[in-house]
Amino acid sequence: MTSLLFNPSDYDPRHFDAETRRLLRATIDWFEQRGKRTLVEKFHAKEFHADFLEFAAKENLFATLLTPAADAKGDPDKRWDTARVAALSEILGFYGLSYWYPWQVTILGLGPVWQSANPAARERAAKLLADGGVCAFGLSEKDHGADIYATDMVLTPDGQGGYRATGGKYYIGNGNVAGVVSVFGRIEGVEGPDGYVFFVADSRHENYHLVKNVVPSQIFVSEFRLEDYPVTADDILHTGPAAFDAALNTVNVGKFNLCFGGIGIAEHAFYEAITHAHNRILYGHPVTDFPHVKAQFVDAYARLVASKLFCDRAVDYFRSANPDDRRYLLFNPVTKMKATTEAEKIIALLTEVVAAKSFEADSYLTVAATDIRGLPKLEGTVAVNLALILKFMPNYLFAPTEYPPVPTRQDAADDEFLFRQGPARGLGKVQFHDWREAYRTFVHVPNVERFALQAEGLAELLMTAPPSAEQQKDLDFLLTLGELFTLVVYGQLILEQAELTGVDPLVLDQIFDTFVRDFSGYAVALHGKPSTTLPQQQWAVGQIRKPVVDAERFAHVWSQVENLSGAYEMRP
Ligand SMILES: Cc1cc2nc3c(=O)[nH]c(=O)nc-3n(C[C@H](O)[C@H](O)[C@H](O)COP(=O)(O)OP(=O)(O)OC[C@H]3O[C@@H](n4cnc5c(N)ncnc54)[C@H](O)[C@@H]3O)c2cc1C
């Protein structure tokens, strides 16, 4: 059976066109030829990834993958194609967050530009990419964190139709090298949303002052200040409420890459962990003979495959989105919050097994253990994304509607809708197809059936003992409810992808074994919340289920895990 995990040694994505395949292969080969020693040494030396940016420039990597067809001047290879953006995100994550991050913040920096109707700014960005440059996204400020309504980047009219911008930005990736820095600010004297503005700055301009790298690592997450920075009409991307929508819609596009980055990190860590543990002999036996070690590996594997299935299916909804089908707005924060926290759990399981190996200077696992913490925090924290997910819950569970089927989307299309998503409001009105359908299709898989009962239980809770008015203001209570709901959504798309791709039903059963346990765990957490009422407590206790145990199934999945020992090792 072909492995469900990405393996650089036999990676051959036949669904992509020739140039895309060449670029992805060239990226893998660049990392492999450079080797593992260099990879980890540069990580620990916190050496800026300039050599990677040089490689990307030489191969036209970012220019080809991140220039929409409308700005490609007829180049047939350039388009914004989420399937291949996701593929590169996974590959870069596989070799480390330090390489994924400059790509990611270039995507974010381009968001406000590709959403803008300003031809001069678009042309400049396309040229910058073609010349091998990178971009940055200047939204966050030192004092305001997630509160993006507040900004102290102020544009003052210069009396000649332009502005002078003054203010600071904080946590801005690529801020040391980017030729296009999309900056969010407000116009002096204009109160409220009408005052918002997105404009382009250039980090090489003399009025752009790079203060420092705020993180001690290979990536450059800058603090910068603009002092009297001249902003002309050619630099203005959006004004008024549209500038705020551009910020949110950019984050929508950008945060989709986090899950693939996390999957890549977890895959590389998995190969290293299983190869080490399976070949390490303690008391005359491989470490993997310990039942708890087997269980940890099987759990990590099931979670990793689950995450891949969900995120791959989410690509289809992302690419098929249009003004009448905004289901991606739910699946996207689930990729962000669920898949990245699952990646953290996978790394926690693997590092638990390999123990000291995940502290060694020459292990990828050491890199992974550090990097993986970042993903749930970027592009909105877990809490922020859960709060977003909750907005969709009533319609998702109780008001399904019909949609044309969404097929697998690996075609060479330009995903132009992502740059005309429109106003970011109205999330509670988005409707979904019937979630029960996917669960019905796989009711013959024992743990899918069991989990589906828990999912029905959630709907029943909301009907019979819904959150009170007080609880609806209590985010601590709601976030746990959000975790329960997220699992139902996560399971649905996994099942859809399993049907489309024919996943081994025993692996699927193992995946839902973890979900039954996770759902039980969140139910217990809800039970313990200070405000949980007696009916809610009774409901929570009733949801604690044991997964269907099947020793043969476990052995079957374990044999797939065992086969991954030695299946990949990075070139030294
Ligand atoms: C490595 C790194 C790179 C980054 N790169 C960039 C970049 O390139 N460009 C950029 O603009 N930003 C960037 N950021 C900033 C990042 O997006 C912020 O970390 C994020 O916006 C959250 O801000 P904060 O970390 O200051 O947390 P705070 O905003 O201070 O949040 C504190 C706590 O409050 C909670 N909270 C806040 N608001 C809500 C809410 N509405 N609902 C529920 N809970 C809430 C949070 O969950 C969190 O636990 C980067 C951050 C890091 C760590």
pLDDT, tens only, 99-120: 999 999 999 999 999 999 999 9
Query: What's the pLDDT band for 2 if we cut at 50, 70, 90?
Result: low
The average pLDDT across 379-390 equals: 92
pLDDT category at 425 given cuts 50, 70, 90 is confident
CA distance 383 to 527: 19
**What is the per-residue pLDDT for 380?**
86
Tell which atom from ligand 1 comes closest to the C-alpha of 219. Answer: 1
Q: What is the pLDDT of residues 18-68, one digit of tens each?
A: 999 999 999 999 999 999 999 999 999 999 999 999 999 999 999 999 999
- Place 180 in a pLDDT band, splitting at 50, 70 and 90: very high
Rounded CA separation 321/330 (Å) = 12
524 Cβ below 6 A of ligand 1: no
Cα separation of the two ends of the chain:
28
Ligand 1 site, residue 105, Cβ cutoff 6 A = yes
Q: For tokens 């024919």, what's the residue?
A: 502
The response to whether residue 549 sits with its C-beta less than 6 Å from ligand 1 reads no
d(CA 296, CA 345): 11
Q: What is the mean pLDDT of residues 500-510?
A: 97
The pLDDT of residue 1 is above 50: no
Taking the centre of ligand 1 as the mean of its atom positions, its distance from the CA of residue 469, in whole angstroms, is: 28
pLDDT in tens, 343-361: 999 999 999 999 999 999 9
> How much is the pTM?
0.97
Strands 154-157, 285-286: pairing kind: unpaired
Q: Which two tokens stand for residue 196?
A: 């918002």
CA of 140 to the centre of ligand 1 (A): 8
Give the pLDDT confidence of 60-95 residue by residue, as tens digits: 999 999 999 999 999 999 999 999 999 999 999 999
CB 87 within 8 A of CB 409: no
At residue 321, the pLDDT reads 96
| Structure token digits, residue 364 | 């990828």
Mean residue pLDDT of the chain comes to 96
Cα(170) to ligand 1 centroid in Å equals 11
Which residue from 54, 497, 483 is spatially nearest to 311, judged by alpha carbons?
497
pLDDT score of 189: 93
Cα of 364 to ligand 1 centre, how many Å?
27
Q: Is the CB of 139 under 6 A from ligand 1?
A: yes
What is the Cα–Cα distance from 456 to 232, expressed in whole angstroms? 56
Mean pLDDT of 478-497: 98
Q: How many CB atoms lie within 10 A of CB 230?
A: 15
pLDDT surpassing 80 at residue 3? no
Residue owning the nearest CA to atom 34 of ligand 1: 146
Q: What percentage of the chain reaches a pLDDT higher than 90?
A: 96
pLDDT of residue 482: 97
163-173 and 180-187 beta bridge pairing: unpaired
DSSP, res 218: S
Could you tell me if the CB of 506 is within 6 A of ligand 1? no
- Nearest ligand 1 atom to alpha carbon 137: 9
Question: Residue 146 C-alpha to ligand 1 middle, in angstroms?
Answer: 5
| Distance in Å, CA 377 to ligand 1 centroid | 6
CB-ligand 1 contact for 135 (6 Å cutoff): no
**Does ligand 1 have an atom closer than 6 angstroms to the CB of 387?**
yes
Say if CB 91 and CB 24 are below 8 A apart: yes
How far does CA 250 lie from the centroid of its chain?
13
Atom number of ligand 1 nearest to Cα 140: 11
172 lines ligand 1 (CB under 6 A): yes
Torsion from C-alpha of 344, 294, 523, 443, nearest 10 degrees:
110
- Identify the three-state secondary structure at position 192: helix
CA distance 236 to 242: 12
**Residues whose CB falls within 8 Å of the CB of residue 464, separated by 6 or more in sequence, listed in order:** 535, 539
Q: What percent of the chain has pLDDT over 70?
A: 100
Cα(163)–Cα(332) distance, integer angstroms: 36
CA distances to 6, 21, 55, 82, 514 from 18, in Å: 19, 5, 19, 17, 39
